[in-house]
Structure 1
């Protein structure tokens, strides 16, 4: 499999990790869209949110628990942050490995993005 996020979880591609346990890893985005921009991914390769099964429910819950913990550790939990999951091409997904973007560190626009026809 030629998945960049799988290679990061395996340690064959370096990253600036901020969190890791047996099932989840989180690291700084190389092209940040906010002062704090961290990607939180399961170590299990799941291409998109559409591929999440009932069996993966606890893993997805753990992804969000990790996001909450990381936001506290980054000092942005109280001021606020955004969690984003892009799904497939029209949703803006670039890497086909389930991931959540944790964005914060400044006031974010309430608009999620332009809808293009």
Structure 2
């Protein structure tokens, strides 16, 4: 998509601090981190949310999670106390960029979901 922020990032049109890249997926630092380590992993094929991604090509979800696995093992995130993976679907859930993306949060004690 021509106007998609994340598509522009993986094409190199907008700078980012990449931490991972393979033929299908890139990972980069979030500009507004919510944890000591806050990364975003996206598939290079555009979809607007995880449901659309699953409907278009479920293998893309596996591509992203394989990338997260590779990165987290290389960086020792699991050994350093673990990490959280989150995706938002829709504005009420907090999605602000409508290119499917997965947040990887780590590096400190994370808050609980709910009460």
Q: Give me the TM-score of the superposition, normalised by structure 2.
A: 0.90
* Residue 43 of structure 1: how far off its partner (Å): 0.5
Any gaps of 5 or more consecutive residues in structure 1? none
Say how many residue pairs are matched: 113
Deviating beyond 4 angstroms after TM superposition, the runs of 4 or more aligned structure 1 residues are none
Change (3 A) 1:88 1:55: closer
* Residue 37 of structure 1: how far off its partner (Å): 0.6
SS at match of 2:69: helix
Equivalent residue, structure 2, for 1:40: 41
SS at match of 1:52: helix
* Residue 55 of structure 1: how far off its partner (Å): 4.9
* 1:52 aligns to 2:44 (yes or no): no
Equivalent residue, structure 2, for 1:80: 82
Matches of 1:6 and 1:54 in 2, distance apart?
Answer: 19
* 1:94 aligns to 2:64 (yes or no): no
Q: Greater CA deviation, 64-73 or 88-97?
A: 64-73
Q: Greater CA deviation, 51-60 or 82-91?
A: 51-60
Change (3 A) 1:23 1:81: same
